[in-house]
Amino acid sequence: MAGRVNLRLFYGGLGVVALIGAGAIWMASSRAQGTQVQILEAPVPVGTSTFPGFVIGSDSAPVEIVEYADFECPACAAFTILAGPDIKQRLVLTGLARWRFRGYPLHQQSLLPHHAARCAGEQGLFWEMHDLLMHYQTDWITSRRQLGKFREYAQASGVKLDDYDECMREGRYASQILATRDEIAGSVNATPTFDIGDVRLVGAQPFDTIAKYVRLAADTSR
């Protein structure tokens, strides 16, 4: 079965090629138009009934990148594919920044993939599931069997399927996902959005832009 899942993901990669092409155009357009920068007066609050997100990187990193993103958002997928690897390798793994993902489901079909990612996350495999949902976005969005697709991605991520299935059946995180969405909606109105230090960047950003503001925030924190 594992081989079959990997083969399906391989063929699903045809959609990734198209997404990368569209993403490159998106990034080039964003660069040409200039980065939309806002001064962040206060961070988005995290209430007792909401979820602070998943973090990769060291607690001692001087800068935190907070990304508000939706698994159904094409620009979010483009950012993950084109800029994500460099952010992990050159900013997170070097200890300069940690990366916090806060799910913000704005699109029509986005609640289920966010819930699937949370169910993988309770087994410590959120980022693996995150990457598959983003990379194969065009594959599952057009599928008539989305739950089956998510289960395939979960298996490819390495989750224990019995526990994952139970989590999905229960809708274990549904109310928290909705509460978190409502909380974020008070100050964020587009995906992806990035808070870095006291700066907010709106829209998919190339790695160089993210790195620029991470280094500025690191210099300010010294």
pLDDT digits (tens, 9 = 90+) for 3-59: 334 444 444 444 445 455 545 545 555 554 456 788 777 667 677 678 999 999 999
Number of domains forming the structure of the chain: 1
Asked whether the beta carbons of 130 and 101 are under 8 A apart, the reply is yes
> pLDDT tens for residues 95-136?
999 999 999 999 888 999 999 999 999 999 999 999 999 999
pTM for the structure as a whole: 0.84
* pLDDT on residue 34: 58
pLDDT at 64 over 60: yes
Percent of the chain with pLDDT over 70: 82
- Using CA atoms, how far residue 91 sits from 40, 88, 182, in Å, is 21, 6, 30
Kindly report the CATH number assigned to the domain that includes residue 16.
Answer: 3.40.30.10
Domain that holds residue 72: 2-221
Helices then strands, counting H and E runs in the chain, come out as 10, 6
